[in-house]
């Protein structure tokens, strides 16, 4: 398995996933589902001194094409990733090797050097394990080992017969109750282990970990018809007290039929006392014609060091079946004095089946542990279900069901210093049923908050991240079929605000607010859609505010929300895109700017729409200048706002010569059907105070218009 550290992709028929690039137009005890979890895409916190910068918030994208069900992100519930064990009858063939005591298998280059009769050996340059027949004149086919069994408490050590690897293959089965390991390739590198066999049944250990100081681990590859593993498989990099630590190796379990793993897989990088931590290795569990089931903990984290090691990544993929995971996925960047390591990646891809996860997925960047160090960037997670292709044709995609803590946050910098927090990473959740809608679901279960905010810091807050939601019908469904396109239901709080300048920090500008974009349903006349299904529902608050500044020389803008929900919207909590204040009370000339209000635009073509909480795009107060307010627009067949709406400009210090208040913004509510546009709460579109006051904004609701720009509004 070869995966680039700089650009990773997973390709399946009809779909290309590219990490780092987003184009917009039985249950394990390690799992953590059930309602108290968070989705963490927050930027790391920066140092509190001058130049300290908060990390940027990440991106959460939930995309469904041709699905009939809602996208659901709930505060309760848990995915069921359990699976049953299937008994396996083993066959070792006519010439098996039964290892009942510790054994080292040598490599033989020519027949003349074969060991005594009955002694096993590996043939040099060939993936062949043999039992010597004593004929020093030829390599006879009858010598080939047809199966292998290693007894409990026994270690089988293999010399390296194919370059830097010990390699063998046979058609029958391997049962490992003990330990299979390899010799060193060099002082710097442990050897690798590769096998291609009938079936693998593991209750013992496969081990290619580094054993000398700083030694890199070897790789482990198991290719088999079926794989059943309960044992530890490890390829850990070795620690080093003074120099660079060893890197973890890659572990690949590839089943032609299926993979069922309950053992822990460990590919961590080693730790260093005074140099770089080792990088974590990659882990892959892949099946061709059956499921991938995992309940073991997988770890490919970077090691601790002066520079934290980067994490590896894990891929779980099938062609025509389910992927189910209930084991912890931990591919975090290592902590470092100078820099934290980068978080890794997780790719769970089910073609013709469901992807189900009920476990922690920890891909965060490593923290910086001393002053002025920088936190590592967070990683990327992909949960994908797409149409598969079997012998008889396409196989419909299944569900995407996810629970357990998801963490791709940036690493923190030490508070004492001027370091930068790491940027958060990316989470994509994708269901593409490709013209075969069968009620498939996309559900993220048991999350109390979506934390996608920028990191706080001493001088520059990080910008908020982005939430993208798309649930659209496929163009391959005829209009006369009246097939539904689902909506989206978001129960937890959505935090997309910018990072703030910490109290007692050096002073500076807060981060910009983030972005929320939702496209639900379609008004394309060539695409059928049942009425009342493509609806956007958010139960709690949406926070797109800018970060709070302290003596800023420029205004930080709040974020943007753009919602197109064909069957309307419901906001049960507040929707806030305020420019936050600049709290400096004695700003130097040219500093002290309040944040600029953002944009809230929600469009619903049919069905009644409403906002139950407060709505605000107000500008923030600042010593020198108040921020201008933004734009607040609600459109629906019938549209109602029940509480206060605020598009007021921020105020400046009126006693400061040259100070200016911010202008008021726009509040507009439009009913495009027979129903009314109504607002039951208070409103504020006033300009902010200052040596030069700001101008008032415009309020237009249900035929009532207030302000100087009533003829220039949308």
Chain segment 400-447, per-residue pLDDT in tens: 999 999 999 999 999 989 999 999 999 999 998 765 667 889 999 999
C-alpha 599/C-alpha 575 separation (Å) is 11
User: 616 has which bridge partners?
Assistant: 576, 646
Q: Any residues with CB less than 8 A from the CB of 295 and at least 6 apart, and which?
A: 26, 27, 28, 81, 83, 261, 262, 325, 326, 327
Say what the pLDDT of residue 95 is: 97
| 31 touches 328 (CB < 8 A) | yes
**Which of 37, 40, 42, 41 lies closest to 75, judged by CA?**
37
**Under a CB-based contact definition with an 8 Å cutoff, are residues 556 and 595 in contact?**
yes
Cβ-Cβ contacts under 8 Å for 414 (sequence gap 6 or more): 47, 367, 368, 369, 370, 371, 372, 373
What is the pLDDT, as a whole number, of residue 506? 72
Distance CA 57, CA 62 (A): 16
For residue 408, give every residue at least 6 positions away whose Cβ sits within 8 Å of its Cβ, in sequence order, or none: 40, 41, 58, 343, 363, 364, 378, 379, 380, 381, 424, 425, 426, 427
Measured between alpha carbons, how far is 341 from 411 in angstroms, rounded to an integer? 8
Which residue matches tokens 């009913």? Answer: 671
Residues of the chain with pLDDT under 70: 1-35, 434-437, 474-484, 523-532, 586-587, 711-714
CA distance linking residue 300 with residue 499, whole number of Å: 30
Torsion over CA: 266, 365, 360, 345 (sign): negative
The model's pTM is 0.92
Q: Quote the pLDDT of residue 399.
A: 94
pLDDT at 473: 77
Let me know: does 313 contact 282? Beta carbons within 8 Å.
yes
pLDDT of residue 605: 82
For position 437, what pLDDT does the model report? 67
Q: What is the pLDDT of residue 24?
A: 28
CA 452 to CA 40: how far, in whole Å?
6
> What whole-number distance in Å separates Cα of residue 56 and Cα of residue 466?
10
Instruction: Give the whole-number percent of the chain exceeding pLDDT 90.
Output: 81
Q: Please name which of 111, 115, 95 lies closest in space to residue 103, comparing C-alpha atoms.
A: 115
- What is the predicted pLDDT for the residue at 393? 77
Quick one: three-class SS letters along 470-506? EEECCCCCCHHHCCCCCCEEECCEEECCCCCECCCCC
**3-state SS class at 80:** coil
Report pLDDT for 287. 96
Look at residue 486 in the predicted model and tell me its pLDDT: 86
Nearest 5°: the CA angle 343, 347, 353 is: 160
Residue 708 is predicted with a pLDDT of 73
157: Cβ–Cβ under 8 A, 6 or more apart, which residues?
Answer: 102, 103, 104, 105, 181, 182, 183
Nearest alpha carbon to residue 306 among 248, 363, 374: 374
Residue by residue, what is the 3-state secondary structure of 284-335? Answer: EEEECCCCEEECCCEECCCCCEEECCCCCEEEEEECCCCEEECCCEECCCCC
Q: Name the token pair of 89.
A: 């009858």
């Amino acid at each position: 398995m070869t995966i680039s550290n700089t650009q990773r992709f997973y390709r399946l028929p009809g779909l290309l996933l590219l990490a780092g690039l987003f184009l917009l137009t039985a249950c394990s005890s390690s799992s953590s589902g059930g309602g108290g979890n968070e989705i963490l895409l927050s930027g790391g916190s920066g140092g509190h001194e001058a130049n300290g910068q908060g990390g940027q918030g990440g991106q959460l994208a939930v995309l469904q094409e041709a699905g009939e069900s809602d996208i659901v992100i709930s505060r309760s519930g848990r995915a069921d990733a359990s699976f049953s064990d299937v008994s396996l009858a083993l066959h070792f063939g006519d010439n098996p090797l039964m290892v009942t005591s510790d054994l080292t298998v040598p490599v033989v280059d020519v027949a003349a050097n074969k060991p005594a009769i009955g002694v096993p050996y590996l043939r040099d340059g060939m993936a062949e394990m043999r039992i010597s027949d004593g004929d020093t004149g030829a390599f006879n086919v009858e010598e080939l080992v047809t199966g292998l069994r290693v007894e409990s408490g026994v270690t089988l050590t293999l010399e390296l017969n194919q370059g830097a690897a010990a390699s063998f293959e046979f058609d029958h089965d391997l049962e490992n109750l003990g330990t299979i390991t390899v010799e060193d390739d060099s002082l710097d590198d442990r050897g690798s282990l590769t096998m291609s066999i009938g079936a693998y049944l593991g209750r013992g250990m496969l081990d290619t970990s580094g054993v000398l100081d700083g030694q890199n681990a070897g790789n482990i590859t198991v290719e088999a018809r079926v794989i059943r593993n309960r044992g530890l498989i490890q390829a850990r990099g070795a620690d080093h007290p003074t120099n660079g630590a060893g890197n973890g190796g890659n572990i690949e379990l590839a089943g032609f039929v299926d993979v069922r793993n309950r053992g822990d897989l460990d590919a961590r990088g080693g730790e260093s006392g005074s140099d770089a931590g080792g990088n974590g290795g990659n882990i892959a569990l892949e099946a061709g014609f059956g499921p991938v089931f995992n309940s073991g903990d997988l770890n490919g984290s970077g090691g601790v060091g002066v520079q934290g090691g980067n994490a590896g990544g894990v891929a779980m993929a099938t062609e025509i079946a389910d992927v189910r995971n209930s084991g912890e996925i931990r591919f975090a960047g290592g902590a470092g004095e100078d820099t934290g390591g980068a978080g890794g990646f997780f790719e769970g891809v089910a073609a013709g089946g469901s992807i189900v996860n009920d476990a922690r997925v920890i891909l965060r960047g490593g923290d910086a542990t001393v002053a002025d160090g920088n936190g590592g960037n967070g990683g990327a997670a992909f949960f994908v279900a797409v149409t598969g292709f079997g012998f008889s044709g396409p196989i419909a995609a299944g569900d995407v069901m996810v629970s357990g803590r998801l963490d791709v946050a940036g690493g923190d910098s030490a508070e004492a210093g001027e370091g930068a927090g790491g940027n958060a990473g990316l989470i994509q959740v994708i269901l593409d049923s490709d013209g075969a809608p069968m009620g498939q679901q996309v559900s993220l279960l048991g999350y109390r908050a979506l934390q996608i905010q920028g990191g706080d810091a001493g001088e520059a807050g990080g910008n908020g991240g982005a939430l993208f939601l798309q649930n659209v019908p496929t163009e391959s469904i005829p209009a006369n079929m009246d097939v539904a396109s689902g909506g989206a239901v978001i129960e937890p709080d959505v935090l997309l605000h910018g990072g703030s300048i910490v109290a007692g920090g050096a002073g500076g500008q807060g981060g910009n607010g983030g972005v929320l974009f939702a496209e639900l349903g379609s008004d394309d006349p060539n695409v059928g859609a049942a009425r009342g299904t493509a609806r956007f529902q958010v139960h709690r608050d949406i926070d797109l505010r800018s970060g709070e500044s302290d003596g800023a020389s420029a205004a930080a803008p709040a974020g943007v929300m753009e919602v197109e929900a064909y069957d309307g919207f419901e906001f049960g909590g507040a929707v806030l895109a305020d420019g936050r204040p600049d709290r400096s009370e004695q700003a130097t000339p040219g500093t002290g700017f309040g944040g600029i209000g953002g944009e809230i635009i929600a469009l619903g073509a049919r069905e009644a729409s409403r906002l139950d909480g407060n709505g605000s795009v107000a500008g923030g107060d600042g010593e020198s200048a108040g921020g201008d307010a933004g734009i607040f627009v609600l459109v629906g067949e019938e549209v109602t706002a029940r509480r206060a709406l605020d598009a007021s400009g921020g105020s400046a210090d009126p006693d400061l010569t040259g100070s200016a208040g911010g202008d008021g913004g726009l509040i507009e509510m439009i009913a495009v059907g027979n129903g009314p546009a109504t607002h039951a709460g208070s409103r504020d579109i006033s300009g902010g105070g200052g040596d030069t006051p700001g101008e008032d904004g415009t309020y237009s609701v249900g035929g009532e218009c207030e302000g100087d720009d009533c003829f220039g509004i949308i």
